[in-house]
Amino acid sequence: MTVLKNDRLLRALLRQPVDKTPIWIMRQAGRYLPEYREVRAKAGNFLTMCTTPELACEVTVQPIRRFNLDGAIIFSDILTIPNAMGLGLYFTEGKGPCFERPVRTESQIHALSVPDPETELRYVMDAIRLTRQELDGKVPLIGFSGSPWTLACYMVEGESSREFTLIKSLLFDQSKLLHHLLHTLAQSVTSYLNAQIAAGAQAVMIFDTWGGTLSNRDYLEFSLSYMSRIIQGLTRENEGCRIPIILFTKGGGLWIDQMINSDCDALGLDWTISLAKTRAQVGQKIALQGNMDPCVLYASKERIHQEVASILKDYGSGNGHVFNLGHGIHPTIDPEKVAYLVDTVHELSQPYHSF
């Protein structure tokens, strides 16, 4: 087993002492990096990059080579599970992910089965194994999945949506059928994340991108309950180390207290949430990840410096904070601003820790 040279991220996620606040960035392996765009051009399309372990490994490691980040996140997509279920994932410019065969009827939903992560999704596991070798213990590797609700949104709508009319029609008129779909997806996500952990992921994150579109009652019933079920089924230790679990619901500020009870180790926060109020709310129960507005990276370095200082002050002294953006980095961000952000977080956070 390779010794981890920088375990700052894992320690923070488990609310253990660190010398400075760790930072990683959602979508850090992505289109804002020129070296990523070179690989993407050679690959021909996004899905080829995802399904080719060597390419996924390369773009996962690219930001680690360039920046002093405290963690890597495997390059993949949240829709790998429905693609493995045979829905025919494809991407169109300006529209994003789409499915050739969305599921909307009882027969289509009941025909779905849980993919075997070491067969239909083996390319993800191979990418994780390759990336662990390539990282050689420099930083920990994060695995991830979309939440059942978020996956169901894409699977039923067939593409991104603003109104979510089809999935919400299913929710209101055929809730039993939607629960069947979500149950199948929860089993799939649990199996998928456990396979990622077995392959070498040292932390995992559940992305609930569309949970915030639900009402209070519906979020608890159709989103959080299934994420809680997944967390209960996850491997919590591997290679002699605890595996932290991060739960992120975009627009989820209303449900902080309920998310704490999911038994996750950390909550990801978007930029609409007060980090200071949330820390006061959670106390010592859980770590917090976030939560800078990604658009701050379009601003001057002086303004980035101010924002970092403000967020660190909001969290205050002590353990349990991972600095991140409140959602994914935008593709037109200047990489120099990212380098400045990472270094500024490390520099300004030291007084908040007594390691």
Binding residues for substrate: 27-31, 77, 154, 209, 327
Which of 11, 15, 27, 279 is catalytic? The answer is: 27
96 DSSP β-pair partners? 92
To 5 degrees, how large is the angle CA 340–CA 344–CA 345?
120
Among candidate residues 15, 36, 126, 154, the one labeled active-site is: 154
Helix, coil or strand: residue 259 = helix
Give the alpha-carbon dihedral of 154, 26, 218, 87, to 10 degrees: 20
Using alpha carbons, select from 1, 21, 77, 7 the residue that is nearest to residue 346. 21
Which CA distances in Å does 298 have to 31, 33, 161, 294?
15, 15, 27, 8
Catalytic residue among 8, 11, 15, 40: 40
> Is 36 an active-site residue?
no
Query: Would you call 40 a catalytic residue per the annotation?
Result: yes
**Residue 223 and residue 149 in contact, taking contact as beta carbons nearer than 8 Å:** yes
Residue 23 pairs in a beta bridge with 323
Q: Do the beta carbons of residue 151 and residue 79 sit within 8 Å?
A: yes
| Annotation marks residue 236 as catalytic | no
DSSP symbols for 145-212: EE-HHHHHHHHHHSB--SS-HHHHHHHHH-HHHHHHHHHHHHHHHHHHHHHHHHHT-SEEEEEETTGG
Is 31 considered catalytic here?
yes
Contact between 140 and 7 (Cβ < 8 Å): yes
Catalytic residue among 8, 15, 70, 77: 77
**Catalytic annotation present for 293:** no
Q: Tell me the binding residues.
A: 27-31, 77, 154, 209, 327
Phi then psi for residue 295, to 5 deg, are -70, -15
Q: Which residues contact 152 (CB under 8 A, 6 or more apart)?
A: 167, 178, 181, 182, 185
Question: Under DSSP, is residue 36 helix (H, G, I), strand (E, B) or coil?
Answer: helix
Inter-residue contact 29 to 63 (CB < 8 Å): yes
Please list the active-site residues: 27, 31, 40, 77, 154
